[in-house]
Amino acid sequence: MVLKARELRKDYLRAGKKGMSFTAVHPLDLEVSASEVVVIRGHSGSGKSTLLAMLAGMLLPTSGRVLLGGDDLYALDEAALSRLRNERIGVIPQGNSALRSLSVLENVMLPSMIRGGGATRVRAEELLEELGIAQLADSSPQELSGGELRRAAVARALLLGPETVLADEPTAGLDTKNSRIVLEVIRRAADAGAAVLLVSHEEEAQSVADRVLTMEDGVLRA
Ligand SMILES: Nc1ncnc2c1ncn2[C@@H]1O[C@H](COP(=O)(O)OP(=O)(O)OP(=O)(O)O)[C@@H](O)[C@H]1O
Ligand SMILES: [Mg+2]
């Protein structure tokens, strides 16, 4: 088991209602193995992105734990958690997360710039090629379509060959052909050993899944 959630829960303050909170993710256990793709479906607002952000080490749970390999994410100090997030977790966030001041290639190479050490330019170019956006390497993110930005985000998440890949609607806004490409690239990351969690409404995502779970009002069901 690479990625585990134990009794993981998130409460938020309800917007506009002072001091009132609600549970966006009810205590849940989840395990994703190496080479496994788990797809999570569910209605808008059911808690999928909240769960994914907690698993990614980006959102402090109200209670419970997230374990990656032998590491308990929220028991680490901030520096260790940042390093782990950058090197061992590949996140494809919902929406556009590109930095406008960098080129597409530089955006993809960010994880290696943060890590320092060996250049990964060749790997970055390879991923752009696989994702069909090699010709956009030197463009600025502002010049890309939504679907092209999504593919650049996929390349960045996979750059360092992370142990776990957490993808939030990675095929949103893509046509069938490019959805397929993205799903196949993600599937290959799993085949190479990554534990993959994929949030997606799209039927097609299920074709690369080993397991499909459904989130309903903060409760995860098989
Ligand atoms: N920072 C926040 N503060 C308060 N409430 C929040 C916060 N983030 C999300 N929520 C609420 O928590 C619930 C779950 O949100 P979440 O973004 O996890 O849903 P989702 O399943 O990813 O939805 P979608 O499919 O639209 O992306 C929603 O009711 C949302 O309004
Ligand atoms: Mg979401």
Closest ligand to C-alpha of residue 26 is 1
Average pLDDT over residues 64-82: 96
CB 3 less than 6 A from any atom of ligand 1: no
CB 16 less than 6 A from any atom of ligand 1: no
Cα–Cα distance measured from residue 25 to residue 16, given in angstroms and rounded to the nearest whole number = 20
Assess whether pLDDT exceeds 70 at residue 220. Answer: yes
**Whole-number pLDDT of residue 1:** 65
Cβ-contact 31, 3 below 8 angstroms: yes
The closest alpha carbon to 164, from 67, 63, 65, 48, belongs to: 67
**Whole-number pLDDT of residue 94:** 85
Span 74-87, pLDDT tens digits: 999 999 999 999 99
**Whole-number pLDDT of residue 65:** 98
How many whole angstroms from 146 Cα to the centroid of ligand 2? 17
**Whole-number pLDDT of residue 116:** 81
Task: Please state the pTM of the whole predicted model.
Answer: 0.94
Cα–Cα distance measured from residue 141 to residue 35, given in angstroms and rounded to the nearest whole number = 31
Atom of ligand 1 nearest to the CA of 53: 18
CB 214 less than 6 A from any atom of ligand 1: no
CB 200 less than 6 A from any atom of ligand 1: no
Nearest CA to ligand 1 atom 2: 12
Strand pairing report for 37-42 and 195-199: parallel
Cβ-contact 28, 18 below 8 angstroms: no
The two tokens of residue 181 are: 């490409």
Assess whether pLDDT exceeds 90 at residue 118. Answer: no
Domain spanning 3-221: CATH 3.40.50.300: yes
**Whole-number pLDDT of residue 103:** 95
CB 17 less than 6 A from any atom of ligand 1: no
Confidence of residue 166 (pLDDT cuts 50, 70, 90): very high
CB 218 less than 6 A from any atom of ligand 1: no
How many whole angstroms from 26 Cα to the centroid of ligand 2? 16
Instruction: List the domain boundaries for the chain.
Output: 3-221
**Whole-number pLDDT of residue 114:** 86
Write down the mean pLDDT value for the chain: 93
How many whole angstroms from 173 Cα to the centroid of ligand 1? 20
According to DSSP, residue 203 is labeled G
Cβ-contact 54, 26 below 8 angstroms: no
Residue with tokens 């060749």: 122
CB 47 less than 6 A from any atom of ligand 1: yes
Span 186-195, pLDDT tens digits: 999 999 999 9
Contacts of 17 (CB under 8 A, 6+ apart): none
**Whole-number pLDDT of residue 203:** 86
Cβ-contact 111, 152 below 8 angstroms: no
Contacts of 38 (CB under 8 A, 6+ apart): 30, 32, 196, 197, 198, 209, 210, 211, 212, 213
**Whole-number pLDDT of residue 216:** 96
User: Phi and psi of 204, rounded to 5°?
Assistant: -60, -35
User: Phi and psi of 55, rounded to 5°?
Assistant: -65, -30
According to DSSP, residue 163 is labeled S
